[in-house]
A = this chain, B = another copy of it.
Amino acid sequence: MDTSSTLSRRPMRRFWGWGLASDTLTAREQVTVKAMLAHIDARFVDRPAPLVGEFDLPAPRIAPPLALAAQFSAAPLDRLNHCAGKSYADCARMWLRAPPSLPDWVAYPENEQAVIDILDWAQSHDVAVIPYGGGSSVCGGVEAAVGPGYAAAISLDLERLNRVLEVDPVSRAARIQAGALGPELEAQLKPHGLTLRHFPQSFEFSTLGGWIVTRSGGHYATQQTHIDDFVEATRLVTPAGVMETRRLPGSGAGPAPDRLVIGSEGTLGVLTEAWVRLQVVPRFRASASIQFSDYFAAVACVRSLAQSGLHPSNCRLLDPMETIFAGVGDGRSAILVLAFESADHPLQAWMARALELVTDHGGRYDGAAVARSMSDEGSGEHRTGAAGAWREAFLRMPYWRDPAVGLGVIMDTFETAITWDRFEDFYRGVKADVARAVRQATGQEIQLSCRFTHLYPDGPAPYFTFATRAADSSVASALAAWREIKLAANTAVVDHGGTITHHHAVGRDHRSGYEREVDPLFRRMLAAAKQVADPKGILNPGVLFDPVNRPIGITGAIVGCRGLPDSRG
């Protein structure tokens, strides 16, 4: 089988898991993974990973448009790489050699005009179009699970639109094509001394356009938490024409147009470029690693920090269980990783006041280490201490899951946001509900761990992690169990008062929660707006909602979510 015929110009991705096909775990990482497996009584066995040749792919159902044929690929590797994102279920289905709905073709438009032409063709041929950035969706956002109402489905990969087109150093902004991966756009900004400084966990394998349409969560723990805050203007190609917003630092002219594009998850159009707000690379840093014996005292401390107006750039609270998962603690204390950074001014006063609040709440830290962190000016990245170790682990974690999936092990996360007044009940309630679902689905007693990824004056964004395994160690059993657990988690976060997603997006897998959370009248208004931009409903059908005029059956990783009796939809 000829897999070399992929049209992608990027290093080859691992179609059945995270990141690059060429990546391997270090010896130290293998030890970490084995320890994680031991924690849930699973034993590492070297099972053979999926190969492209093991998949029997149906022929495309339609010919590509003649004039654009050179930008279309039906190479098996392209189709497999584009048939799903990177959720647990996406990977499990690959291990089962039962891939999610395949796109008939993968299109790699060379420029915006090609995007326009492809949408024109798709619209007139009843072809569903799945916009594709880096493919790192963990909620079924990029798969061709479009239901039976279409002649075919294509994945529209924006990798060729990866350039920084314009830089405005005075206003600190740049016009960047939507298909640029994190490292690609940062490399192009670097000569200007500027950075977007948006570092989601998927940074290396996700794009500016993907971040914007999924409301990605980035580097900063406070203030500019979502990519939303960095968007100055957008350009969206829709089947009804191009929609462009104006570069403005702020406006009060009607409902904000960019806010309809942000979070639209490929359902309204294809984002081709955006003006984004940039930063100067920080020169000053201050960081501290703080221990708390009492988790809820730590939560109160973090709340006081979030309401202080000090705006830490990092304020990541790990609960005792999470310190074990992250390899930075023994499960007896909560750990707060606190940091400030600035391109403008030293941060002694900021850190000093933050540490007063920490002490007030019973936190303990190494003062000498904090002092060292502030003497460390101009050292570029800040990779030392607990913060550095945590950062490294953070970027590598998705790789660690890959070998485990083949062993019938489920490692998964879900995330949300909730106001402070309800947090304690929420934390206990969600953990209990999901642990119960795990017990029912797998027979295992587990504990979920929790960290805060982002903070607001009125509440935190908690991020839960859990691992379990199927009793029979089979991937099929594990996937079936995952479906039950995922539905329970969707219900738990929403019914206990949170949002179905703080920054992972809705996609197909979170629809059951989205429909519980978001008012049906708003969803009808959104669907009506879509009808204007995409009258035939060809764009990413089934994500967020069904197109008004298409009776789609949901065929993503969670089948049947919509039919839940208690769903508001």
Find residues 467-519 in chain A having any chain B CB closer than 8 Å to their own CB: 497-506, 510, 513-514, 517-519
Q: How far does the Cβ of A40 sit from chain B's closest Cβ, in whole Å? A: 29
Is A311 at the interface (CB under 8 A from chain B)? yes
Q: When chains A and B are docked, how far (Å) is the Cα of A238 from the Cα of B524?
A: 13
Q: Once the chains bind, are A245 and B519 in contact (CB under 8 Å)?
A: yes
The chain B residue sitting closest to A422, CB to CB, is B171
Chain B residues closer than 8 Å to A526, beta-carbon distance? 254-255, 529
In the bound complex, CA of A497 to CA of B264 (Å): 27
- CB contact between A232 and one of B458, B500, B503, B513 (< 8 Å): that residue: B458
Contacts of A307 in B (CB 8 A): 172, 280, 344
> Judging by beta carbons under 8 Å apart, are B544 and A254 in contact?
yes
Interchain CB contact under 8 A, B529 and A250? no
Segment at the B interface, from A77-85, A366-374, A392-400, A413-421: A413-421
Are A419 and B168 in contact, with the CB atoms below 8 A? yes
Question: CB within 8 A of A263: which of B248, B256, B277?
Answer: B256
Is the beta-carbon distance between A456 and B240 smaller than 8 angstroms? Answer: no
CB contacts (< 8 Å) of A408 on chain B: these are: none
Q: Is the CB of B421 within 8 A of A245?
A: no
Chain A: how many interface residues by the 8 Å CB criterion? 95
A residues 325-378 with Cβ under 8 Å of B? Answer: 342-345, 348-350, 353
Q: How far is the CA of A518 from the CA of B234 in the complex (A)?
A: 12
| Cα distance A418–B233 in the bound complex, in angstroms | 13
Assess the A461–B250 pair: CB atoms within 8 A. yes
Contact present for B532 and A214 (CB under 8 Å): no
Nearest chain B CB to A514 CB, angstrom units = 6
- Do residues A252 and B215 form an inter-chain contact, with CB atoms below 8 A? yes
Residue A217 CB within 8 A of the other chain: yes
Contact A522:B264 (CB < 8 A) given known A172-B457, A421-B170, A458-B171? no
Given A173-B419, A349-B348, CB of A248 within 8 Å of CB of B499: yes
Produce 1/0 per residue, A229-259, CB < 8 A to B: 0001000001011111111111111111101
* Chain B residues whose C-beta falls within 8 Å of the C-beta of A171 in the assembled complex: 419-421, 457-459
Q: Which residues of A are interface residues toward B (Cβ below 8 A)?
A: 168, 170-173, 214-217, 223, 225-226, 232, 238, 240-257, 259-265, 268, 277, 280, 303, 307-311, 342-345, 348-350, 353, 417-421, 454, 456-461, 497-506, 510, 513-514, 517-519, 521-522, 524-526, 528-529, 531-533, 544
Q: Which 9 A-B pairs have the closest CB atoms?
A: A249-B459, A349-B349, A215-B252, A249-B456, A259-B259, A251-B499, A525-B529, A528-B528, A171-B419
10 CB < 8 A contacts A-B: A171-B457, A226-B250, A243-B519, A248-B418, A248-B419, A254-B518, A255-B526, A309-B344, A309-B345, A521-B532
If A246-B517, A249-B420 are given as contacts, then 5 extra A-B residue pairs at C-beta distance below 8 Å, sorted by A number, are A171-B420, A171-B458, A253-B506, A255-B260, A268-B525
